[in-house]
A and B are shown apart, each in its own frame.
Chain A
């Protein structure tokens, strides 16, 4: 049936079974359709391979950025709509650094710092890439993480902290304000143009049954860095008291304070971890796709929300799994539906999960 046995309570129960049945039928149909396509040669293995790889890459970015969102969502109890723009901010700060290091002496410093605003410098011309300018890229990653940490701490300090007691929706609305301000400030500074950031990275073609799947150096970089960071966070939360304190706070903040948890410090740690991952995710996203625009993070945000909800708010494994599911859905859905609906398909998956299992796949298994 494809749907794991899950215990259900109360009302969910009534709707779960028929839903599961319908879902199972749909899944079977899709699979059959795909197999038929493969058999008749309509669909090719290499197609599936490249789409799956593309989806995996996207999923890693979404998952990495999702961890931060998920953490702040559960601990501070609000859906942070400015998270997408933290991603963009991380990307701009990191790429500004990369441009500067890669292009120093070859172009105007102002143009480099503004990441080639208005077409003043091209990343391709500077030959930026993981293999060609590794130092510039690594420095960019570090700065992206660091800057986003500072940004999120500053925003928290000045904007979220004073109204922390007001409840999730107040904070949510405020975060929409932050998102607007941040996004268009970045547009003001860096311009509204989309710029290409890298030279074409070297790639290898993997031959897959009936065609080639291209995997390039930046795909590999993304894979390595994202999995490394995910593992790191897992260990951090598992090995320290922080993880437990975060869960306690997520649950009942007043009581957490009464039991002596330094809540402000926990909040800060949350922003530091979440912000850092988010900034790096932003940087890696740009490295992978090769273009940078002021809207990038915002466009990703809804997919990240989908991933986080899918996985279960507060769970880092949920965020990662959700990210992969959403990424793969968005990419691979074109095997069945017109590509115009690729993003829509990801949202539909999220809505369906919300109906079947509102608390997400990994509900309850929070941070550690």
Chain B
């Protein structure tokens, strides 16, 4: 029986090819939609930047979740809690100090952005530790409920008036309560390029793009560059998690997922492994949260409702838990089709068929269908409500996947938890050349054991 059966095997270029193909399809669809919607070049670029942005954040989040669930079997449905802590702590550290009269109600410590980002990740990891310590002893479904409860506690805390503002190191800081925080620090891209001394170069580049986007090209370029930045982060996440999984460390995680007592009896300090894995995942979720909200200009606690967590789960399940490639694909597919898709669909319909007068309520929509078998008002109403139905669609997709393809798009893929291929070494084991470490990124795990009897070094 083969350990793998998946689409990537039939795909030129393997996993990378598959990811590229999916991305290309998504972009093509969006460009086409833009054409129909009559977007000018600027609009097209904007829409692609937005798409890239969401692909990036969902891919990162589902990669991080894959570490928890796919590798370690930790059923974390408190993702938003870790994202929230990441962003909020980052804001607290990096927002400029308070000056009266500005739009911001409270200030921050005014430290550089990168300090804030690290602080945010550390805070998310620490929260992970706090949750993990007691909760890791619990059954998977209990852990689920504890984590989701924790994420709600985090949200309530940021909402509460008691943390709205306080003094820290002599500055007036706080979490802003229900109003949230205005993220009035240096924009992230500016901070990034300034820190490497390329800000001038970047501005020059932006100026040069005036050829394509004549007026005010900066937000467009910013959006695209930020999107690329996110994709870079996705690559880094991917690389990190793939290495984590394909290693003795990952092997222990896998064993924990299967039967913790056995791993423990074999001498593995399972609690430590679980805590490490959990904290790493939480830090990555914190980072993903930061990258998602950092450029948004403001953050409010109610963004961090549990449904965002479920979005990430849907993304992961679409791609296939246990597989990093799957996580990226799932994130991209989710972002393009389920998250952003319905808006475009609705706009397309209203553009193609303008002046449709959809009925104001379900009653008026369903009435004609019942009394005169006239489906038109109902259809119009349905299209008009596509944004609410978006979540219905997500639910149905999830159900469908669990029924028909619980292993996700990529098929039943079990990435072998080992640095090397586990095939039987040749009697005179081929001298190992050590392999180039960078090669790791491209092959996605467990090259079919049976097909690879020849070499120990598959990388």
Interface residues in chain A, defined as those with a beta carbon under 8 Å from any beta carbon in chain B? 11, 78-79, 108, 110-111, 113-114, 117-118, 120, 159, 162-163, 166, 168-170, 172-174, 176-185, 187-192, 302, 305-306, 309, 338, 340-341, 343-344, 347-348, 350-351, 354-355, 358
Tell me, rounded to whole Å, the shortest Cβ–Cβ distance linking A279 to chain B.
20
A261 to B213, CA, bound (A): 72
Q: Which listed residue, A110, A170, A347, touches B152 by the CB 8 Å rule?
A: A347
A120 to B364, CA, bound (A): 12
17 A–B contacts, CB within 8 A, in A order:
A118-B361, A162-B403, A173-B313, A174-B398, A174-B403, A176-B395, A177-B395, A177-B396, A178-B399, A182-B395, A185-B392, A187-B388, A189-B362, A340-B159, A351-B134, A351-B135, A351-B150
Tell me, rounded to whole Å, the shortest Cβ–Cβ distance linking A79 to chain B.
5
A184/B156 in contact, CB under 8 A: no
Q: Interface size of B by Cβ–Cβ distance < 8 Å?
A: 49
- Residues of B contacting A159 with CB < 8 Å? 399, 403
Tell me, rounded to whole Å, the shortest Cβ–Cβ distance linking B80 to chain A.
13
- Residues of A contacting B367 with CB < 8 Å? 110
Tell me, rounded to whole Å, the shortest Cβ–Cβ distance linking B350 to chain A.
18
Whether A191 contacts B361 in the complex (CB less than 8 A), given A162-B403, A177-B397, comes out as yes
Residue of B nearest to A162 (CB): B403
Residue of A nearest to B317 (CB): A173
Residue of A nearest to B69 (CB): A169
One digit per residue, 1 when the CB lies within 8 angstroms of any chain A CB and 0 when it does not, for chain B 356-367 equals 000011111011
Among A163, A168, A351, the one with the most B-chain Cβ atoms within 10 Å of its Cβ is A351
- Residues of A contacting B149 with CB < 8 Å? 302, 305-306, 347, 350-351
* Number of residue pairs A-B, CB distance < 8 angstroms: 144
B398/A180 in contact, CB under 8 A: yes
Q: Is B298 an interface residue (CB 8 A)?
A: no
Q: Which listed residue, A176, A178, A192, A309, touches B145 by the CB 8 Å rule?
A: A309
Other than A180-B398, A358-B138, give 17 A-B pairs with Cβ distance below 8 A. Answer: A11-B137, A108-B363, A162-B403, A172-B144, A174-B402, A177-B398, A181-B396, A188-B382, A302-B145, A302-B148, A306-B145, A347-B150, A350-B145, A351-B135, A351-B149, A354-B134, A354-B146
Q: Is B310 an interface residue (CB 8 A)?
A: yes
Chain A interface helix/strand/loop/mixed: helix
Whether A188 contacts B362 in the complex (CB less than 8 A), given A173-B313, A302-B149, A358-B142, comes out as yes
A163/B403 in contact, CB under 8 A: yes
Residue of B nearest to A346 (CB): B149
A176/B362 in contact, CB under 8 A: no
- Residues of A contacting B396 with CB < 8 Å? 177, 181
Q: Which listed residue, B137, B145, B159, touches A79 by the CB 8 Å rule?
A: B145
Which residues of B35-63 are within 8 A (CB) of A? none
| In the complex, the 10 A-B pairs of residues with the closest C-beta atoms, listed nearest first | A180-B395, A177-B398, A181-B395, A347-B149, A110-B363, A177-B399, A184-B391, A340-B160, A174-B402, A177-B395
Chain B interface helix/strand/loop/mixed: helix
B141/A168 in contact, CB under 8 A: yes
- Residues of A contacting B146 with CB < 8 Å? 350-351, 354
- Residues of B contacting A118 with CB < 8 Å? 360-361
- Residues of B contacting A343 with CB < 8 Å? 152, 156
A11 to B396, CA, bound (A): 42
Tell me, rounded to whole Å, the shortest Cβ–Cβ distance linking A23 to chain B.
14
- Residues of A contacting B160 with CB < 8 Å? 338, 340-341
A235 to B280, CA, bound (A): 50
Residue of B nearest to A182 (CB): B395
Interface residues in chain B, defined as those with a beta carbon under 8 Å from any beta carbon in chain A? 75, 134-135, 137-142, 144-146, 148-150, 152-153, 156-157, 159-162, 310, 313, 317, 360-364, 366-367, 382, 385, 388-392, 394-399, 402-403, 406
B402/A354 in contact, CB under 8 A: no
- Residues of B contacting A355 with CB < 8 Å? 134
Whether A169 contacts B140 in the complex (CB less than 8 A), given A176-B313, A180-B398, A350-B149, comes out as yes
- Residues of A contacting B310 with CB < 8 Å? 176, 180
A78 to B150, CA, bound (A): 20
Among A78, A174, A183, A350, the one with the most B-chain Cβ atoms within 10 Å of its Cβ is A174
- Residues of A contacting B148 with CB < 8 Å? 302
Whether A344 contacts B362 in the complex (CB less than 8 A), given A188-B388, A358-B137, comes out as no
Among B317, B395, B397, B403, the one with the most A-chain Cβ atoms within 10 Å of its Cβ is B395
Q: Which listed residue, A108, A176, A188, A305, touches B398 by the CB 8 Å rule?
A: A176
Whether A338 contacts B161 in the complex (CB less than 8 A), given A188-B362, A351-B146, A354-B142, comes out as yes
- Residues of B contacting A344 with CB < 8 Å? 152-153, 156-157
A168 to B75, CA, bound (A): 12
A184/B362 in contact, CB under 8 A: no
Whether A341 contacts B397 in the complex (CB less than 8 A), given A170-B402, A188-B389, A305-B145, comes out as no
A358 to B394, CA, bound (A): 33
B313/A117 in contact, CB under 8 A: no
Tell me, rounded to whole Å, the shortest Cβ–Cβ distance linking B398 to chain A.
3
- Residues of B contacting A309 with CB < 8 Å? 142, 145
Residue of B nearest to A19 (CB): B134
A341 to B163, CA, bound (A): 12
A189 to B381, CA, bound (A): 10
A174 to B399, CA, bound (A): 5
Whether A347 contacts B402 in the complex (CB less than 8 A), given A181-B396, A192-B388, A338-B162, comes out as no
- Residues of B contacting A190 with CB < 8 Å? 362
Whether A348 contacts B137 in the complex (CB less than 8 A), given A181-B399, A188-B388, A354-B142, comes out as no
- Residues of B contacting A11 with CB < 8 Å? 137
Whether A169 contacts B153 in the complex (CB less than 8 A), given A159-B399, A180-B392, A340-B159, comes out as no
Whether A188 contacts B145 in the complex (CB less than 8 A), given A170-B402, A177-B399, comes out as no
- Residues of A contacting B394 with CB < 8 Å? 177, 180
A180 to B397, CA, bound (A): 10
Tell me, rounded to whole Å, the shortest Cβ–Cβ distance linking B440 to chain A.
30
